[in-house]
């Protein structure tokens, strides 16, 4: 079971993820007592000239809630990817966590460079969380630096950070303790926070948990109140990283509710979703609970991971979303559906005007498990940023999809079932339109469609001798949607598939059959889905020569 991960880079183009041993079903120990764990208010609260904490909430200087909806970006290892911040903003994100180095383990990011990052964040209307990554796994990873060293780095940047309290959050150090004696995390964390306050910093400070960020032994949970009390400004927020330790809904909700019930501020500073050999994180519960409790989340990560299963986009190309990226940006409780831009970027007059109601949706390409909806676009005084699609059932409604355009395919429907769908529009300020009129439809009887026209593009994304990363783009070239498909092909040289995202492979000898994931199960006409995998290989690595979709041969692109 994977209980933690390291994002340390092993060479200039790669990250590694570290697997650490732990027992299945480990119970997060330690509890926060609501009676004694109330966040401070009043005279000890941080000055309200920028981002600050009040009653366990992250607020802007004007007192408005700010709920982070964003991603992590590995700047320090990919300093040339300067377009990424604009691309991240284009997804609808309102914040970004930027990986930096204090020079202990990797090349130090200079004051000029950091000032440039802040300028780009502000230009792209993103709240910027800056973090030092060199502390990752301290106490277990001998190459890791200390929180004290990281604090000194922040102090060296004081001239750059001064006056940026409305735009920048300081995350002292990433995952600053491993699994060895995690109780040792508390004192250095308090010391680093106090060192920054003594140096005059008024910014919101973020602190990561031990156990490689996942706190599976409950040290941060048990000591959060004492750490919070040590910050005389009260401007401190805790960050939990959720990966395979958080593979059940109860693990997720218990941890987040413990902080909320205690009045202590928390967000999910990193999280993953795709299953791998270490486990299957419950990202759906993470995102749903964050939305329910109005807590921030920052998905890992934009691009550049050694294990690309966690890349939101492929090769830093915003037009090539992975299945993980589709989930984060366009899925239920995702960024397109829930992100609201910080009001600090809105000028002196807040946008309070909601968009007009969208047109009544029309349904097409209705199968047993999916339907495509289209509607007339809304208008807005500033601009429509997205649409929320809901299922209407009497007086109740349930969110089923989100889109940045006036069209969406709703998946995971039940065969031979009546549905009614309607649409809301949103703008950047979070204003929501009146609901559109509803469209009714009944799904087809039986399984998914077969016999579709299709094409397949197969390529090797990376190759490291005895292993490689493959990518398969499956396009529906027909005139009707397909669903519940099966993709078949055979390897020529004995290759085998290990991890796959976007589908579930079954392999017998050289023959491979791939069933879709829930979020790739329906492919609209002239649309495509992308699957990725990690495979093993021998001396040669010839691409498959033929593919079939549900028994029908596909063209090879």
Cα distance between residue 127 and residue 196, in whole Å: 20
Which residue in the list 140, 165, 270, 291 is annotated as catalytic? 270
Q: Which two tokens stand for residue 363?
A: 């349904």
- Tokens 């509890």 belong to which residue? 31
SS3 percent helix, strand, coil of the chain, rounded to 5, is 20, 30, 50
Q: Which two tokens stand for residue 162?
A: 């001064």
| HSE value, Cβ hemisphere, 13 Å, CA-based, for 373 | 34
Residue 27 CB contacts under 8 Å (≥ 6 apart), including other chains: none
**Surface-to-core class of residue 465, CB atoms within 10 Å of its CB (0-12 exposed, 13-18 middle, 19+ buried):** exposed
- Tokens 């218990």 belong to which residue? 254
Residue 306 CB contacts under 8 Å (≥ 6 apart), including other chains: 10, 14, 15, 16, 17
DSSP letters, 33-93, are -TTT-PPP-GGGSPPTTSSEEETTEEE-TTS-B---EEEEE-GGG-TT-TTHHHHHHHTT-
Cα distance between residue 349 and residue 344, in whole Å: 10
What's the gap between Cα 168 and its chain centre? 19
Rg (CA), the chain: 24
| HSE value, Cβ hemisphere, 13 Å, CA-based, for 106 | 25
Q: What is the DSSP letter of 451?
A: S
Question: Would residue 175 show up in a list of annotated catalytic residues for this protein?
Answer: yes
Q: Which of 532, 542, 539 is nearest to 510 (CA)?
A: 542
Sheet strands (E) in 87-204: 95-100, 127-132, 168-171
Cα distance between residue 219 and residue 177, in whole Å: 11
Residue 241 CB contacts under 8 Å (≥ 6 apart), including other chains: 5, 175, 208, 209, 212, 213, 214, 268, 269, 270, 271, 300
Q: What is the DSSP letter of 518?
A: G
Cα distance between residue 144 and residue 178, in whole Å: 10
Cα distance between residue 251 and residue 271, in whole Å: 14
Query: 215 and 239 in contact (C-beta within 8 Å)?
Result: no
Which residue in the list 165, 175, 326, 471 is annotated as catalytic? 175
Q: What is the DSSP letter of 225?
A: H
Residue 366 CB contacts under 8 Å (≥ 6 apart), including other chains: 372, 441, 442, 443, 444, 481
Measured in degrees and rounded to the nearest 5, phi and psi for residue 176 equal: -80, 15
Q: Are strands 313-314 and 317-321 parallel, antiparallel or unpaired?
A: antiparallel
- Catalytic residue numbers read 175, 270
């Amino acid at each position: 079971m994977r209980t933690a991960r390291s994002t340390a880079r092993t060479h200039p183009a790669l990250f590694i993820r570290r697997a650490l041993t732990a027992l299945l079903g480990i119970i997060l120990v330690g509890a926060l007592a609501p009676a004694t764990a109330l966040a401070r208010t009043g005279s000890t609260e941080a000055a309200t000239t920028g981002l600050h904490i009040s009653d366990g909430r992250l607020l802007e200087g004007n007192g408005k809630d700010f709920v982070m909806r964003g991603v992590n970006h590995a700047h320090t290892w990919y300093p040339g990817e300067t377009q990424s911040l604009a691309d991240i903003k284009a997804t609808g994100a309102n914040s970004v966590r930027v990986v930096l180095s204090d020079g202990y383990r990797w090349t130090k990011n200079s004051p000029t460079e950091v000032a440039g990052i802040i300028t780009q964040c502000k230009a792209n209307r993103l709240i910027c969380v800056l973090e030092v990554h060199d502390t990752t796994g301290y106490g277990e990873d001998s190459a890791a630096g200390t929180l004290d060293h990281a604090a000194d780095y922040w102090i060296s940047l004081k001239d750059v950070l001064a006056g940026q309290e409305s735009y920048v959050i300081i995350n002292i150090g990433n995952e600053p303790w491993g699994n060895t004696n995690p109780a040792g995390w508390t004192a250095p964390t308090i010391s680093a926070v106090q060192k920054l306050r003594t140096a005059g910093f008024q910014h919101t400070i973020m602190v990561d948990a031990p156990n490689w960020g996942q706190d599976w032994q409950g040290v941060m949970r048990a000591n959060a109140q004492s750490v919070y009390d040590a910050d005389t400004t009260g401007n401190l927020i805790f960050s939990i990283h959720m990966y395979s330790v958080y593979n059940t809904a109860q693990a997720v909700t218990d941890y987040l509710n413990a902080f909320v019930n205690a009045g202590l501020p928390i967000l999910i500073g990193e999280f993953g979703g795709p299953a791998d050999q270490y486990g299957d994180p419950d990202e759906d519960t993470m995102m749903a609970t964050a939305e329910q409790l109005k807590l921030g989340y920052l998905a890992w990560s934009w691009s550049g991971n050694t294990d690309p299963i966690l890349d939101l986009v492929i090769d830093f190309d915003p037009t090539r979303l992975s299945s993980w990226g589709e989930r984060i940006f366009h899925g239920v409780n995702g960024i397109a559906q829930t992100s609201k831009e910080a009001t600090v970027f809105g000028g002196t007059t807040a946008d309070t005007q909601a968009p007009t109601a969208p047109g009544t949706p029309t349904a097409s390409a209705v199968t047993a498990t999916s339907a495509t909806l289209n509607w007339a676009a809304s208008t807005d005084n500033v601009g429509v940023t997205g649409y929320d699609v809901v299922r209407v059932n009497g007086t109740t409604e349930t969110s089923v999809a989100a889109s940045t355009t006036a069209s969406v395919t709703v998946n995971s429907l039940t065969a031979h079932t009546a549905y009614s769908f309607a649409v809301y529009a949103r703008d950047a300020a979070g204003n929501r339109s009146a609901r559109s009129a509803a469209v009714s439809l009944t799904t087809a009887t039986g399984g998914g469609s077969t016999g579709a026209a299709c094409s397949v593009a197969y390529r090797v994304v990376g190759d490291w001798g005895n292993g490689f990363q493959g990518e398969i783009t499956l396009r529906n070239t027909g005139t009707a949607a397909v669903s519940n498909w099966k993709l078949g092909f055979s390897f020529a040289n004995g290759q085998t598939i290990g991890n796959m995202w976007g589908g579930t492979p079954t392999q017998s000898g050289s023959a491979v059959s791939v069933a879709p994931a829930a979020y790739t199960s329906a492919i609209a006409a002239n649309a495509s889905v992308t699957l990725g995998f990690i495979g093993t290989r021998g001396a040669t690595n010839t691409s498959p020569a033929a593919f079939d979709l549900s028994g029908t041969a596909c063209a090879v692109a």
